[in-house]
Amino acid sequence: MKWSQTSLLAAIEQTYGTLPGAMLAMLTKDIELRPLEGEEVERGLNTPYLGAEESMFTNEYAGISFKVELVGSGTLGVAPAWGPLMRACGMAEVIVADTSVEYTPISDAPESVAMHFQLGRNKHTLLGAQGNVSIELEKGIPYLSFDFKGLYVAPEDNALPTADFSAWPKPIPLGAGRTTDFELHGFEVVPSKLSIDAGNEVEFDPTLTTEKIEFLDRAMSGSVNIAAPNVADIDFFTRAKDSTTGNLQIKHGPAGGHRVTISCPKVQVKQPKYVERTKKAELEMALAILPQTGNDEFSLLLD
């Protein structure tokens, strides 16, 4: 069994916890399966002798984490291959034919995915999976990072499937001329790093008669590093002290199905501090990404 021979298939479930028909190949990086999680219950039996005793494993579930490259489908109004993953992270997918695809958060009825992870001939299936997503923008390739929990299914012996990655265009590296229009609180500043975390709270919820992955809460946050501005131009220290909010926006890639626009209309900067990067002063800040009227704190637009 070779460590490098892995496969991940995923698809939206039409019925929770039920394996759908066709599944799509996910082109992943840094994949890590947690094949068996749960609780060990000590029996605590009384015996006339010393020694360890067996425990019972219960409330079993599985988990998986990985990255995918953040890139559009390459066709206007066509959802990307990673779309099902976003939908299972509490995001609505809105498609405008021949125009755009947009992902925004929802508070009710999140969807779920089924997944087949395979290492060699060992196939592990997760059903009813839901999770969290974060965005990582730093020099190089932009990524979406996912972490899912799903219902446990006993592993099977299975031949590795044929992977069709035709729905995955090559990514567009971050950088000048490709990454543009970064705004923070209405000011054009120079970023070197940006991360956004959906902050989804997802837990396995077993009862006496049922089991389910529950999507419980969301609190979006992030962090940003920018070239340290003169306080006469923009004073993020005072803005942080006064809990001032403002927008955040960044665009990446060319129009025509490749462009990604991230928008957060109400962002609070926190704990600004100076850091050094290649002998230049930067301002590092935590971000609280806040809703305005509800389910509107974040948008990822592909056009």
Residue 52 falls within a domain, yes or no?
no
The domain in which residue 201 lies consists of 6-43+58-302
Residue 51 falls within a domain, yes or no?
no
Residue 191 falls within a domain, yes or no?
yes
Residue 17 falls within a domain, yes or no?
yes
**How confident is the model over 1-33, as pLDDT tens digits?**
888 999 999 999 999 999 999 999 999 999 999
Q: Which of 239, 266, 35 is nearest to 156 (CA)?
A: 35
Token pair of 192, please?
């070197």
Spatial contact of 298 and 289, defined as CB atoms under 8 Å apart: yes
Residue 237 falls within a domain, yes or no?
yes
Which amino acid appears at position 107 of this protein?
S
Residue 12 falls within a domain, yes or no?
yes
In 3-123, where does DSSP find H-type helix? 83-87
- List, for the chain, all residue ranges whose pLDDT scores fall below the cut of 50: none
Q: Which of 84, 136, 135 is nearest to 110 (CA)?
A: 84
Residue 48 falls within a domain, yes or no?
no
Residue 49 falls within a domain, yes or no?
no
Number of structural domains in the chain: 1
**How confident is the model over 94-144, as pLDDT tens digits?**
999 999 999 999 999 999 999 999 999 999 999 999 999 999 999 999 999
pLDDT of residue 1: 87
Q: Which of 33, 93, 96 is nearest to 63 (CA)?
A: 33
